[in-house]
């Protein structure tokens, strides 16, 4: 993979990065992009995908679940187990 500057991606909010990634996928699926451009936008798509994944992982780490007490009242919180 060539070294391309994707510094702007690091500052993108999740929604904007995902929208651009979806647009890249659409263009590549249509096959109407020249080979060099396909490689360039594929590489940008990889960077966008990694950025979105990191943002999601960060969000998951901040989410907590409410722990109910014996009477059903909330007694506190614990980290969300995303693997269950």
Percent of the chain at pLDDT exceeding 70: 88
**Higher per-residue pLDDT: 36 or 70:** 36
Helix (H, G, I), strand (E, B) or coil at 12: coil
**Higher per-residue pLDDT: 74 or 24:** 24
The answer to the question of residue 55 being in a domain is: yes
The answer to the question of residue 71 being in a domain is: yes
The answer to the question of residue 1 being in a domain is: no
How is residue 18 written in tokens?
């995902």
Residue 46 domain boundaries: 7-79
The answer to the question of residue 84 being in a domain is: no
What is the count of structural domains for the chain?
1
The answer to the question of residue 51 being in a domain is: yes
Percent of the chain at pLDDT exceeding 90: 57
The answer to the question of residue 2 being in a domain is: no
Contact yes or no for 17/48 (Cβ under 8 A)? yes
């Amino acid at each position: 993979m060539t070294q391309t500057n994707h510094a702007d991606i690091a500052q993108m909010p999740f929604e904007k990065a995902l929208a651009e990634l979806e647009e890249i996928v659409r263009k590549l699926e249509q096959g109407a992009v020249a080979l060099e451009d396909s490689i360039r936008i594929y590489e940008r798509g990889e960077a966008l995908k990694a950025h979105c994944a990191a943002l999601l992982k960060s969000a998951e780490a901040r989410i907590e679940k409410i722990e109910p007490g014996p009477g059903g009242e909330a007694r506190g919180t614990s980290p969300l187990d995303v693997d269950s």
